[in-house]
Amino acid sequence: MRVHTEDRGRVLVVRMDRTDKRNAIDAEMTAELDAALNRLEDDNELWAGVLTGGDEVFCAGTDLIAGAGTPTERGGPYGVVGRTRTKPLVAAVEGLALGGGMELVLACDLVVAGAGATFGLPEVSRGVVATCGALFRGPRALPLNVARELLLTGDRLTADRAERLGFVNRLTPDGDALAQAVALAERVCENAPLSVRATLKAVEQLVGADDQSGWTATTQATATVMASQDLREGMSAFAEKRSPVWQGR
C-alpha cells in the first residue's frame, strides 16, 4: 500500500507512505490517493480531510522513472489536483514538498507546516515545466513575484517565510504538523457542514474562475518542452545524478 487512511471522528487522515522514494508518486499511489479522496467526498460521516506524508518528507512529486500513471476520472493528475471537492482538505507538511508535492499542497484549502518544511518547484532545473496546477495556483497562493521566483529559479521556500507570506496557515514545531492539521480540520468540523461546503464552493468558484485557462496555458507550456533536447538532457542528468548541460533547444 502506498496510501493509508485513518478516521479521526469526522476527519479522514490520508497519509502517503513511500518513504524510500521520498513519497514520489507512481501509478499505484495515484490510484490510492484517488480512492481515498473519493471516500472523503462520498462518505457523509466525513466532513474534512488531512493530506500528509512522513516525518521527513511530504512528497517529492512525480516518480520520474516510473511516472505518475493516468489522471483519474474524478481526481485528475495524482487523483488530487484536478478534483472538484465539496469538503475542506488540509495539507500537513513535514520536510520536503517539491514539484508535484508542492502542487498537492497548492490543491489543498489550508496548510499546516513543521518548522523545517520546505516547498519548491524545481521543474525548470530538469528541463520540464510544472504540469499539475502550479503555473496558475502558485501566483494565486503566493505574491506574484515570489511565485515567479520559485517557478523560474527552482529554489526552495522555507516554512517560516511561507508562513509570513500567508501561504502556511499554521507553523508548528517539527513533528507536530499532523496533530495541528487534524486540530484545524476538527475546528472546521465544529461548524455546520452545509454552510462549510457552500462557503468552500463559493470561494472556489471565485478564485478558480480562470482555472480552465490555467490548464490550457499549462498544456501549451508542456507541449513547448516535450520535444526538446533540454528535456532529454534534464532527465538523463537526473538519472545519472549529474549537472545538466543545457542547449536551449
Catalytic residue positions, numbered: 103, 123
54 CB-near residues (< 8 Å, 6+ apart): 15, 16, 17, 19, 23, 94, 95
Cβ atoms of 133 and 99 closer than 8 Å: no
Strand residues in 65-155 grouped as ranges (E) = 89-93, 96-98, 110-114, 118-120
Cβ atoms of 75 and 37 closer than 8 Å: yes
Give phi and psi for 74, each to the nearest 5: -95, -30
Which three-class secondary structure state does DSSP give residue 4? strand
Query: Which of the 8 DSSP states describes residue 48?
Result: E
What is the per-residue DSSP string for 142-176? S-HHHHHHHHHH--EEEHHHHHHTTS-SEEE-TT-
User: Strands 118-120 and 156-158: what pairing?
Assistant: antiparallel
Closest C-alpha among 102, 233, 3 to residue 248? 233
